[in-house]
Amino acid sequence: MKNENIVLSNNSINDDDGKIYRTVDYSKTEQTHLLMSRHMNGAGRLFGGQLIAWIDEVAGIVAKRHSGQNIITACIDNLEFKNGCYLNDLVVLIGYVTHVGRSSMEVRIDTYQEKPDGSRHPINRAFFVMVALDEFDKPVEVPRLKVQTIEQQAKWDGAVKRAELRIQRKLEGY
């Protein structure tokens, strides 16, 4: 008779294989910022470097929640600016794990401009690769990702393709 999964806490699962699995929702993170003058560039738009810092912070929080370990940013795989944001806009960042390797996690971060009516309009999408470290700053195994929906599976499959492309770029010297 097959053992049943044991739910540990808040979407964390101990499966029959003895490994810890975590759901996407376990580490999903949302962060909101009000744009002030200190966040603006010379053209009066959100400074891209500020947005990158916020994205990196969200990616780190997501990866730390998923792994329970210290985290480093290993790779910014993709960062696509779609629209600008301006003074007094609300900026919402949503990050979640799309794929895990042995010690690495791909984190997708979607960034939105939130309008006064509550509607959200995309301004950026990024994929960061984060690596979990032990107390000696060595890569350490992370919990597996429990893919639960067709959408999550599609995101996992996309992450596998991006990982293959990263390996190919590395072999080509990029």
pLDDT digits (tens, 9 = 90+) for 108-144: 999 999 999 999 999 999 999 999 999 999 999 999 9
The answer as to whether 166 is a domain residue is: no
- Joined together, the tokens standing for residue 23 give 């759901």
The answer as to whether 77 is a domain residue is: yes
Q: Report the pLDDT value the prediction gives residue 2, as an integer from 0 to 100.
A: 39
Which run of H or E residues covers position 153? helix 150-171
What is the C-alpha to C-alpha distance for residues 50 and 56, in angstroms, rounded to an integer?
A: 10
The answer as to whether 161 is a domain residue is: no
Distance in Å from the first CA to the final CA of the chain: 50
Residue-number span of the structural domain to which 127 is assigned? 27-145
pTM of the model as a whole = 0.89
The answer as to whether 8 is a domain residue is: no
Q: Note every long-range contact of 149-157, with CB atoms under 8 Å and residues 24 or more positions apart, other chains counting.
A: 152/24, 152/98, 155/98, 155/99, 155/108, 156/98, 156/99
Q: How confident is the model at residue 19 (pLDDT cuts 50, 70, 90)?
A: confident
Q: Report the pLDDT value the prediction gives residue 14, as an integer from 0 to 100.
A: 64
Percent of the chain clearing pLDDT 70 (strictly above): 91
The arithmetic mean of pLDDT across residues 43-72, rounded, is 97
What is the CATH classification number for the domain harbouring 110?
3.10.129.10
pLDDT digits (tens, 9 = 90+) for 60-96: 999 999 999 999 999 998 888 899 999 999 999 999 9
Number of domains observed in the structure of the chain: 1
Q: 128-164 in b/e burial notation, b at 16+ Cβ within 10 A?
A: bbbbbeeeeeebbebbebbbeeeebeebbeebeebbe
State yes or no: pLDDT of 23 exceeds 90. yes
Averaged pLDDT score across all residues of the chain = 91
Q: How confident is the model at residue 36 (pLDDT cuts 50, 70, 90)?
A: very high
The answer as to whether 40 is a domain residue is: yes
Q: Report the pLDDT value the prediction gives residue 78, as an integer from 0 to 100.
A: 83
State yes or no: pLDDT of 10 exceeds 60. no
